[in-house]
Amino acid sequence: MGDERGRCAVTVGGRPYELNPSGGEVILPGHGSKIHHDPSCTHLTDSGTLPRHPDRDGLLWRRLLDAADPAAYAHSIDLRNGQNRLVTGVCSCALRPVAESHAETLPYWPIDDALRVFDRDRHQAAVEAADRDAEAIRAAFPWEDWPKLSLDRYALGQPDAPGQVYSHALEFGSKALGSITGGTAKKHLVYRQNNGAWWYDKRYADVTEAWEEVRAGIVAAVEAARQGRVRDIDDLPAVRSGITVIAKTLRIYAPEATLPVYADSFTQHCLDRLAPGSAARLQPFARKELLKSLVDQDPRFEGWPPQLVWYFLDWWAPVRRSAARVVKIGTGSLAEHWPAFLDVGLIAVHGDRVGDLHRYADLDEFQAAYAEAYALDGTPPHRLAAQAAELWQLLDLRLGDRVVAAQGRSEVLAVGKVVGGGYAWRPEFGETPHTVAVEWDESCAGTLAQPVADWGVRTVSEVPSGLWKRIQALADARLPAHLSGMADEIARDAADEEIPPLDDGLQRIDDALERRGQAVLFGPPGTGKTYHALRYAVRRLGELSEDLSAVDPLAEPGSKEFAATLEALTRSGRLTTVTFHPSYGYEDFVEGLRPVKGDSGFSLEPVPGVFKRVCANAEADPGQLYLMIVDELNRGDLPRILGELVTVLEKDKRGLPVTLPLTGETFRVPPNVRLLGTMNTADRSIRMLDSAIRRRFTFLELLPDSGPLMGRQVGELHLADFLDELNRRIRTHLDREKQIGHAFLLPDGEAVSTPAEFAAVIRGEILPLLQEYAYDDYTLLAAFLGEELVDPVAHTLRDVGDEKLLSLLYDELQVGAGGR
């Protein structure tokens, strides 16, 4: 079953999939809860004849995904498995997760199919809400007032009544119109900074001239749009850098001129789906004009308001990797208020001294204000900066993002979805005025078996995929006892774990690899370069490998599931890990002559190297991502190892032929191969790499991060403070590339907790590294660790016990450095 000619790409939940059409009917499992399109699917372990269900238009998969209540929809069409239980999901034999490089080679899901199943009525309320927001702004800022609108009525940063400011209403007071939040306030072209100074383009003599030019540019942009000349906005220099602000302003004052697609990248994305290649050389507003004209000329959209067209496009072909974020917000001392929060649907956070987050242009400005407001509390500056960054995350929460309400280090109170406008400043809440509207669900309430260390010290923190899996498992623990003995497939389907988006660190790696094809993680020793590379492999390859057993993309590092996933991915050939060293050569990596035993003895024959074998596997399996991790990349002679592949590694040259000198074979690097290297900068700076190599890799720096050590102590010594102060001294006397990574104090992923463990790390790993850095200069070593531990005259380290070592370092690097 399934029609090869009908296979296409589709984006669901921010991820690319390959759709295998059903062929007119779906297969229902004997005891699972997902529809199947392929009778040979390995997930169909049932014996005997399986039930079928008609699927004449081939869209049952989408109707299930879009149903507000999948169980109710399944009941309405009598979609049941062999045990008469409702079937509510879609198997990977129907929607197969694939690499983006493969999705781009497939035709996209036909728009006619999408229009047949799109529920216009479901979006009507949202269209009406958007129209109300636009009307409210027009009433508060009538168009006829704009030619003389005052700066204090326009610009962000006004001390009073932010709701009376146009930029505030545009960015924060009209969520139904679509969001333009994020980034900095510079997109508004002129704004008042928190220190009272005005920011504006320095080509203007002063803020008065800047505002007059910006205001005239906004008026000219709207007038051009009203006259059908949207592309002329590209020629208005005063507003050229404010694309999203101008685009949303057009939605309010010239609503029929464009679609409410604000970011230029989104406009380009829509055009790529509707008319590939049509807008490659156009400027931003010319693209918006073209997109609107394509819609206007399409009879399928006749009578559709522009807002509804945008909802359709964003549903049919959304920008990828737009899945919901998951963050934890701790209730802390507010535990007694939790029932009220649960009842009214919100979460509240401390921070009354800094005011509404909307007042601040960007994180830097907010961190400075936060540090000033809480400076007298005795909190070290680096802690204040971290606390401000946590609080700032509330602004980034969007509709549908997940919030885990937690108490202490292990208690989950509820999990919810962000609703309404998300963040809101509510001064009536006293010391906890920073609030987020959340629709709560207590099904995951419970106590985690293993506490989360940073939950005790961070109010707002990102929830990594492994932790999210543990939180979701709490719901399974609440199932009735008679369900606990079900088969593995039933349990898996019942959990139906939602895979969250990549965390920020892994997303940076993914973006770099998608953009260039190869990237290097570089930084000082102990910053987790290999750790992050393996985490990326498990998470990214794991979510694309539903066909492999023992693969868990949400497995936590250090767990047996993590090791099993790495083993399965390696065994399948989708993950290959090598380590470069001085004797590693081209013949190991690409191809070389090796002695091969035959009937008449040994002879030298060409043998493919490890990278050539990876490329052969990838070429035979274009839907899958193939990743090679190269540890210690800079220890090898890269020009010699890579040879002629330096050219064809580039993303835009993938698939082009190159002739291998040994065999004369034509060789290509497939587009679904990724190369991820790690590099220790204490050994060799990236500046020492061959320039041709540097140009073809993206370099991502990993620096020491004391965050995982927050709240962890050994005796009186705060590990985070110890690491921060030690690295401050290293940066002062040496450079940032020779800092000490946090991983030294996190053996096996857990922070050292006893004086003996701490002393073993200091003596066995950190001290030898510092001695190497100091080149036996004990005066320099004493500057790092203090003269109570290092004798700069006798050029020796004082012989002290574990407890004494801890005490000396506490006195020197925490108390002596001004820490608490």
SS (H, E, C) 230-267: HHHHHHCHHHCCCHHHHHHHHHHHCCCCCCCCCCHHHH
> Is 669:618 a contact under the CB 8 Å cutoff?
no
Q: In this structure, which long-range contacts are made by residues 509-514, counting pairs with CB atoms below 8 Å and at least 24 apart in sequence?
A: 509/533, 509/536, 509/676, 509/700, 510/321, 510/536, 510/540, 512/698, 512/700, 513/674, 513/676, 513/698, 514/100
Report for 61-75, 370-384, 773-787: range of highest mean pLDDT: 61-75
Q: pLDDT tens across 520-578, in order?
A: 999 999 999 999 999 999 999 999 998 888 899 999 888 899 999 999 999 999 999 99
Packed helices 207-226 and 243-253: angle between N→C axes, nearest 10 degrees = 50
Do 464 and 477 touch, CB atoms closer than 8 A? no
Residue 647 — very low, low, confident or very high, per pLDDT cuts 50/70/90? confident
Please count the other Cβ atoms lying within 10 Å of the Cβ belonging to residue 623: 19
Cα 624 to Cα 21, 31, 564, 617, distances in angstroms = 19, 29, 19, 10
Question: For the residues of 554-590, what is the DSSP string, one character each?
Answer: TPPTTSHHHHHHHHHHHHHTSEEEEE--TT--HHHHT
Residues 6+ apart with CB under 8 A from 569: 537, 538, 541, 542, 545, 548, 551, 575
- Are 679 and 521 in contact by the 8 Å Cβ rule? The answer is yes
Residue 816 has pLDDT above 70, yes or no: no
- Selection from 510, 531, 527, 525 nearest residue 698 by Cα: 510
Per-residue pLDDT at 420 = 78
Average pLDDT over residues 461-489: 69
What is residue 492's predicted lDDT score, i.e. its pLDDT? 41
pLDDT more than 70, % of the chain: 94
Q: Supply the pLDDT for residue 159.
A: 67
Q: State the average pLDDT over residues 791-797.
A: 86
| Residue 181 burial (C-beta neighbours within 10 Å; 0-12, 13-18, 19+) | middle
Nearest Cα to Cα of residue 344 among 438, 442, 444: 438
pLDDT value of position 378: 79
pLDDT at 323: 67
CB distance 58 to 21 below 8 Å? yes
Burial 474-513 (b: 16+ CB within 10 A, else e): bbeeeeeeeeeeeeebbeebeeeeebbbbbebbebbbebb
Mean per-residue pLDDT of the chain = 89
Block residue for tokens 């590990």: 719
Radius of gyration for the alpha carbons in the chain, expressed in angstroms and rounded: 29
pLDDT in tens, 166-178: 998 998 889 899 9
Task: Give dist(CA 24, CA 12) in Å, integer.
Answer: 22
Q: What is the mean pLDDT of residues 286-290?
A: 96
The predicted structure's pLDDT at residue 748: 82
CA–CA dist 87, 28 (Å, integer): 8
Distance CA 32, CA 27 (A): 11
- Average pLDDT for 510-522: 93
pLDDT digits 0-9 by tens, 362-411: 788 889 999 999 988 878 787 888 899 999 999 888 888 999 999 999 99
Least confident of 6-15, 537-546, 661-670, 688-697: 688-697
Burial class for 446, CB neighbours closer than 10 Å (0-12, 13-18, 19+): middle
Q: Which run of H or E residues covers position 509?
A: helix 504-516
pTM score? 0.86
Q: What is the mean pLDDT of residues 432-444?
A: 92
- pLDDT band at residue 479, thresholds of 50, 70 and 90? low
Q: How far is CA 717 from the centre of its chain?
A: 33
Cα–Cα separations (whole angstroms), residue 206 to 149, 199, 213: 17, 10, 11
H or E element in which residue 271 lies: helix 264-274
> Do residues 97 and 15 lie in contact, with contact meaning Cβ atoms separated by under 8 Å?
yes
Q: What is the mean pLDDT of residues 21-44?
A: 92
Polymer length in residues for the chain: 820
Determine the Cα–Cα distance for residues 678 and 139; give it in Å rounded to an integer.
57
Average pLDDT on 652-678 reads 93
The residues, ordered by sequence, that sit 6+ positions from 702 with a Cβ below 8 Å of its Cβ are 521, 522, 523, 527, 528, 529, 532
Averaged pLDDT for residues 262-288:
91
Tens of pLDDT along 589-642? 999 988 888 787 788 889 999 999 999 999 999 989 999 999 999 889 999 999
Residue 820 has pLDDT above 50, yes or no: no
Q: Is the pLDDT of residue 785 over 80?
A: yes
Q: What angle do CA 802, 808, 814 make, to 5 degrees?
A: 120
- Alpha-carbon gap, residue 569 to 575, rounded angstroms: 5
